[in-house]
A and B are shown apart, each in its own frame.
Chain A
Amino acid sequence: MAAERGRGSADSFLRMRIEPLGDRAFLVHFADDGVSPASPFCLAGDALRELPWVTDVVSGLASLAVHVDPRRVAPDEAAEVVVERLLTMPDLPAAASHVVEIPVTYDGPDLEAVAAHCGLEPDEVVRRHVAPVYEVRMIGFMPGFPYLARLDEMLHTPRLETPRPRVPAGSVGIGGAQTGIYPFESPGGWRLIGRTDTVLFDAAREPASLLAVGDRVRFVERR
């Protein structure tokens, strides 16, 4: 099913494609040419969660997964309502204005390997990692795990061929074109360049996850 409407034919954000995600959910895909910034609709989760039959909304890198209660609504009817709501939102959601600072000790086991892969000195890797203000594009993989966009292209490094069975909690890593932080000890395939004591997820805290989609993050080197 394709729903094509737009406020301007050049605006790639507004071409949406609906796809079933089983019998209780659907995906709304936004056009992504790999160059344009993330669709602002990926930040529309909060607005959609207000709908009475929505049970959850999960932002993807270029999509929204909308989970519904099928006793209250048919998913295909729900999809039409969601698309209508997205297209008629008075203000497009914007990224957060405040920036969360995450202190990091850059002593990760893969720092040298990343430096070698990128043709840089390790402290140049650190300089380039702390420079940008990142945007949280997605929370997934584990509770509170942020996928951060705007990693310096010079630092892009492919994931490990074989993931480590155990990555320490608080590990800061690079996976392809993204950087992120492991909230818990878990298996992991990203390249570890440092670690933080900042607690990313605490079920007893409100909100439990420190970061949400649309938040902005800066890493600060701790010596």
Chain B
Amino acid sequence: MSAPLTILRPGLLTTVQDLGRAGHQHMGVPAGGAMDDVALRLANLLVGNDPGLAALETTLQGPALRFEGETVIAVTGADQSPTLDGKPLPPWRAVRVRAGGELAFGAPRSGCRAYLAVAGGIDVPRVLGARATYLPARIGGLEGRALRAGDELAIGETPVRSRTRGLHVDVVPRYEGTLRLVPSGQFASLQPNARTRFLHEEFRVERRSDRMGVRMEGPVLGFREPMELLSGGVAHGTVQLPPDGQPIVLAADRQTTGGYPRLGEVCTVDLPSLAQLRPGDTVRFTTIAPEEARRLYLERERRIAALSLALRSTR
């Protein structure tokens, strides 16, 4: 066991997350995990961890914390002005921390969620196969809740190779303001005017957005005829259209079933962009064919695999 880390200030909403718990949706438990799974994986790879170890996910205003022992950390995702012992901490880079070192987040400059990985990973018990925190049922993470001042988090064994290195700027993920949607069977039933507005106008992210869903405010949309639907399974990225005509994009901690009509699903490679949307941000939608969406996903996974190999072999 490595020396723990201590939470000094919790920030707005900081939770322990990993890549989530697959295979439990039939019990009503979503996979959950990091909203921006790519940022979490890259943070882990930078510090020499397996990509699926647990890290901290911060929201808008990040925490302040102290590392009781010497270690290596990396911060990825949103830019929340991180400082280490008072000096700006470069993102997307593994950095050595001395025993007693303090990391603090300041003004949120861009994006919504940042990820802090520590060499060895955050060591909390696995629940239903994962360390991810699922707040609605108080499962996982630290006691199933958001972190508080005074919390102490155990860190796992430090991996053998723990170097300081960073991602080349060309490889750092880019977050887009356009979300590509695989259309549902109901998409064609949108009123022609609504379809045009959905694909050409801006939507604004509402304040009430969270890990369960990102609510959009914009042109009021409707279908040509009333939709009589029976509840069924939904996905991370499902765009629902409730009776008020304002879309909701379901997120990591979503309900596993829903009864509202669906416009479609945001493609997997655009989920990190969804994760980084802040209340007040504007976003646009466009459509993508499922085969093309899958191609982009496979391509992205190949790139991450290549990066993982490169990081493992640098000296």
Residues of A participating in the B interface, judged by any CB pair closer than 8 Å: 17, 19-25, 27, 29, 32, 45, 49, 55-65, 67, 70-71, 74-76, 138-145, 147, 183-184, 186, 201, 203-204, 207-209, 212-213
- Since A22-B237, A140-B231 are in contact, a sample of 18 more A-B pairs with Cβ atoms closer than 8 Å, ordered by chain A residue number, is A22-B265, A22-B266, A23-B268, A25-B235, A32-B230, A49-B23, A60-B231, A65-B234, A70-B268, A75-B290, A76-B290, A138-B232, A140-B28, A140-B256, A145-B28, A203-B137, A203-B139, A212-B27
Inter-chain CA distance A21–B25, complex, in Å, is 15
Give bound CA distance, A177 to B194, whole Å.
Answer: 31
Q: Cα distance A32–B293 when bound, in Å?
A: 31
Q: How far is the CA of A65 from the CA of B258 in the complex (A)?
A: 11
Q: Which A residues lie within 8 Å of B237 (CB)?
A: 22
Chosen A-B contacts, 17 in total, with CB atoms closer than 8 Å, are A20-B182, A24-B235, A24-B297, A25-B235, A25-B265, A27-B232, A45-B26, A49-B23, A56-B25, A59-B233, A63-B230, A74-B291, A140-B28, A141-B256, A142-B28, A183-B137, A203-B127
Give the shortest distance, in Å, between B134 (CB) and chain A (any CB): 8
Question: Which residues of chain B have C-beta atoms less than 8 A from A142's C-beta?
Answer: 28, 136-137, 255
CA distance A67 to B254 in the complex (A): 15
Contact B28 A209 (CB under 8 A): yes
- Closest chain B CB from A93 CB (angstroms): 13
In the complex the two chains form, what is the Cα distance from A136 to B271 in whole Å? 32
B28 touches A23 (CB 8 A): no
Residues of A within 8 A of B309 (CB): none
Nearest B residue (CB) for A19:
B185
Task: Identify which of B23, B294, B298 contacts A55 (C-beta below 8 A).
Answer: B23
B200 at the interface (CB under 8 A from A): no
Contact indicator B235/A67 (Cβ below 8 Å)? yes
Categorize the interface residue count of chain B: 35 or more
- The interface residues of chain B, by DSSP majority, are classed as mixed
Are A141 and B294 closer than 8 Å at their CB atoms?
no
Complex-state Cα separation, A57 to B23, whole angstroms: 8
**Known contacts A143-B28, A209-B27; A138 and B22 CB within 8 A of each other:** no
- B257 interface residue per 8 A CB criterion: yes
CB-nearest residue of chain A to B239: A22
> What is the minimal beta-carbon distance from A169 to any residue of chain B, in angstroms?
10
Residues A139 and B232 in contact, CB atoms below 8 Å apart: no
Q: Which A residues lie within 8 Å of B238 (CB)?
A: 21-22
On chain A, the residues within 8 Å of B24 by CB distance are 56, 143, 208
Mask of B85-96 contacts with A, CB within 8 angstroms, 1/0: 000000000000
Structural contact, A184 and B137, CB atoms closer than 8 A: yes
Q: B290 touching A27 by the CB < 8 A rule?
A: no
C-alpha spacing A141/B138, complex, angstroms? 15
The interface of chain B, by Cβ under 8 A from chain A, is: 22-29, 127-128, 136-139, 182-185, 230-235, 237-238, 255-258, 264-268, 290-291, 293-294, 297-298, 301
Contact indicator A60/B28 (Cβ below 8 Å)? no
Contact A21 B297 (CB under 8 A): no
Q: B257, A140: Cβ atoms under 8 Å?
A: yes
Contact A56 B22 (CB under 8 A): yes
Q: Of all chain A residues, which has the CB nearest B184?
A: A19
Of A21, A63, A208, most B-chain CB atoms within 10 Å: A21
- Closest A-B pairs by Cβ, 6 of them: A65-B233, A60-B232, A140-B257, A22-B265, A58-B233, A23-B293
B235 touches A22 (CB 8 A): yes
Question: Using Cβ atoms and an 8 Å threshold, which residues of chain A touch B268?
Answer: 22-24, 70
- Would A75 and B139 count as touching, CB distance under 8 A? no
Asked whether, in the complex, the Cβ of B231 is within 8 Å of the Cβ of A61, the reply is yes
A59 adjacent to B26 (CB under 8 Å):
yes
Task: Please name all residues of chain B whose beta carbon is closer than 8 Å to the beta carbon of A45 when the two chains form the complex.
Answer: 26
Asked whether, in the complex, the Cβ of B137 is within 8 Å of the Cβ of A60, the reply is: no
**B265 contact set on A, CB distance < 8 A:** 20-23, 25
Min CB–CB distance A124 → chain B (angstroms): 29
Provide the bound-state CA to CA distance between A56 and B182, in Å: 20
Contact A74 B294 (CB under 8 A): yes
Q: How far is the CA of A75 from the CA of B291 in the complex (A)?
A: 9
Are the C-beta atoms of A21 and B27 separated by less than 8 Å?
A: no
In the complex, what residues of A have CB within 8 A of residue B297's CB? Answer: 23-24, 70
Report how far A62 CA is from B232 CA in the complex, Å.
Answer: 7
